[in-house]
Amino acid sequence: MRGRGSRDTLVRLADELARPDGRDEHRDDTRPTTLDIAGDGTLQVVLLGVRLPYETGIEEWNGTNPVLTPDYAALREVNVRGQFEGQELAFLGVDATDRPVRVFGLTDPTRVVVDIQHGG
């Protein structure tokens, strides 16, 4: 998840892809001995049909991972685990397990968007 923004009532993350497709799952237990994700809830996002940067012309993320996001109202961490066989796995740490979430695709450029509702 490379782009992110904040509004009054939601946090938005977007990942630019060659083709938007994916699935999201709420996880109650992140098994801290394996992967410690900041926050009280974890959203697992699996992006499908991911192509490598040299195939898409989209620059590969080379920033910090995980990205801690204490300034966002609901989002605590973005932890991208990498690409393998056309899939990219990321875990989003949120402040509560019951946050409404919406995942959808957009075009121009093609990307998958995750909206996490908070407050307001």
Residue labelled with tokens 């996002």: 45
Rounded CA separation 104/35 (Å): 26
Residue 17: count of CB within 10 angstroms of its CB? 21
The fold adopted by the segment(s) 3-117 is Immunoglobulin-like (2.60.40)
Residue 2: its pLDDT value, please? Answer: 45
Does position 44 have pLDDT exceeding 80, yes or no?
yes
pLDDT band at 24 (very low <50, low <70, confident <90, very high): low
Q: What is the pLDDT of residues 65-106, one digit of tens each?
A: 888 877 787 899 999 888 888 888 889 999 988 888 998 888
Would the pTM count as exceeding 0.85? no
> Which segments of 1-120 does DSSP mark as H helices, in order?
53-56
Does position 23 have pLDDT exceeding 60, yes or no?
no
pLDDT band at 5 (very low <50, low <70, confident <90, very high): low
Residue 3: its pLDDT value, please? Answer: 43
Domain spans, the chain = 3-117
